Amino acid sequence: MAAKKTSKKSNVSADELLAYYRDMLLIRRFEEKAGQLYGMGLIGGFCHLYIGQEAVVVGLEAATKEGDKRITSYRDHGHMLACGMDPNGVMAELTGREGGYSKGKGGSMHMFSKEKHFYGGHGIVGAQVPLGAGLAFSDKYKGNDNVTFAYFGDGAANQGQIYETFNMAALWDLPVIFVIENNQYAMGTSQQRSTSTPDLYTRGEAFGIPGEIVDGMNVLAVKEASEKAVAHCRAGKGPYVLEVKTYRYRGHSMSDPAKYRTREEVQKMRDERDPIEQVRDMLLTGKHATEDDLKAIDKDIKAVVNASADFAKESPEPDLSELWTDIYADA
């Protein structure tokens, strides 16, 4: 990891730290359960798990306020949970049921929540980036100080439309934070094999967009970078690029055997850099929580996740009439 930034001393409270722990653990356990349900045939199609990357969304969300927007790619379950969407609705969408966020019509890659300002869930690599800039455009047009987080991966960072968007976002001072979640593999192609220069945070330089690299396994470092980027955007100074170095433990999707990297590489990351373990250590060594406190949180989360799985299994499939609804807004 070439992460240059670590937050040795951060002004977070014990409560905040506990909240991050809880939010990251929820994503981890939720994704593990989703993997299980996929294995049981309850979830179909593509399913991209976020395990290993939890600190990214939790850290970034820590600097948001009501009204801020977020949009991402198909690896989206973590983003939805982090912005407060209901695990039941997310899981039921994964199983394609009526109780899902899109009534079962979107699936793992296509979920939305107007209430939580979550704008999807997009399956075409990179397409969410101009859309995110467009959301920021709408806020600037309306004259409020909301900020949009447009998440994309190291793979998407090579899509042409991202640079079209960088140009216009900078030209028009759009309040958008381009978050490059660099998990180092674009499906099976490592960053070294796909990217001419290693530092993605410099990709905005040609457009005059400031960029920063962040240790994405450290939630506090991510939070700090997020605060800085958000302040920049809210002040009307235009877009910001954050390259958040992270790692996904699982394959690209459920059907990926991940032969392009060694088991040792993954294990080393889990052992040494795991974002949840890092916070757990901080909580315990700082005496902000006891083993028992953390056990209680683990238990709560397990209950939430199990309940979401039960809900997702019990919720009926959408009525066949749903095939013909929501095609047109006035239909």
Tell me the C-alpha to C-alpha distance, in Å, between residue 170 and each of 50, 146, 268. 30, 17, 39
Nearer to other proteins (CB atom), residue 39 or residue 67: 67
Q: Is 153 in the site for other proteins (CB under 8 A)?
A: no
Q: Is 262 in the site for other proteins (CB under 8 A)?
A: no
Beta bridge partners of 70: 118, 149
Nearer to other proteins (CB atom), residue 139 or residue 224: 139
Provide the residue count of the chain.
Answer: 331
Among 6, 13, 36, 138, binds other proteins (CB under 8 A): 138
Q: Is 96 in the site for other proteins (CB under 8 A)?
A: no
Q: Is 66 in the site for other proteins (CB under 8 A)?
A: no
SS3 174: coil
Q: How far is the CB of 154 from other proteins (least distance, A)?
A: 20
**Kind plus residue range of the DSSP H or E element containing 282:** helix 275-285
Among 127, 156, 177, 279, binds other proteins (CB under 8 A): 127
Interface mask toward other proteins for 21-60; x: CB under 8 A:
----------------------------------------
Q: What is the DSSP letter of 90?
A: H
Pair of tokens at residue 90: 């997310």
Q: How far is the CB of 129 from other proteins (least distance, A)?
A: 7
The whole-angstrom separation of Cα 102 and Cα 116 is: 14
Q: Is 239 in the site for other proteins (CB under 8 A)?
A: no
- CA dihedral 259→265→268→269, nearest 10 degrees, is -80
Nearer to other proteins (CB atom), residue 14 or residue 171: 171
The whole-angstrom separation of Cα 146 and Cα 140 is: 8
Q: How many helices (H) and strands (E) does the chain have?
A: 11, 8
Pair of tokens at residue 61: 């969300």
The whole-angstrom separation of Cα 94 and Cα 106 is: 9
Among 52, 59, 96, 100, binds other proteins (CB under 8 A): 100
Q: Is 189 in the site for other proteins (CB under 8 A)?
A: no
Q: Is 123 in the site for other proteins (CB under 8 A)?
A: yes
Stretch that binds other proteins, among 97-105, 198-206, 237-245, 297-305 (CB under 8 A): 97-105
**Terminal Cα distance for the chain, rounded:** 52
Q: Is 13 in the site for other proteins (CB under 8 A)?
A: no
Contacts of 12 (CB under 8 A, 6+ apart): 20, 220, 223
Q: How far is the CB of 92 from other proteins (least distance, A)?
A: 11
Q: Is 102 in the site for other proteins (CB under 8 A)?
A: yes
The whole-angstrom separation of Cα 111 and Cα 113 is: 7
Give the total of residues touching other proteins (CB under 8 A).
47
Q: Is 320 in the site for other proteins (CB under 8 A)?
A: no
Q: Is 103 in the site for other proteins (CB under 8 A)?
A: yes
For the chain, strand residue ranges (E) read: 69-72, 118-121, 148-153, 176-182, 185-186, 189-190, 211-215, 240-245
Q: Is 131 in the site for other proteins (CB under 8 A)?
A: yes
Q: How far is the CB of 144 from other proteins (least distance, A)?
A: 11
Stretch 69-88 residues interacting with other proteins (CB under 8 A): 69, 71
Among 141, 192, 263, 320, binds other proteins (CB under 8 A): 141
CA angle, residues 179, 133, 169, in degrees to nearest 5:
90
Q: Which residue ranges make up the site for other proteins (CB under 8 A)?
A: 69, 71, 100-106, 110-114, 119-124, 127, 129-139, 141-142, 160-161, 164-165, 167-168, 171, 325-330
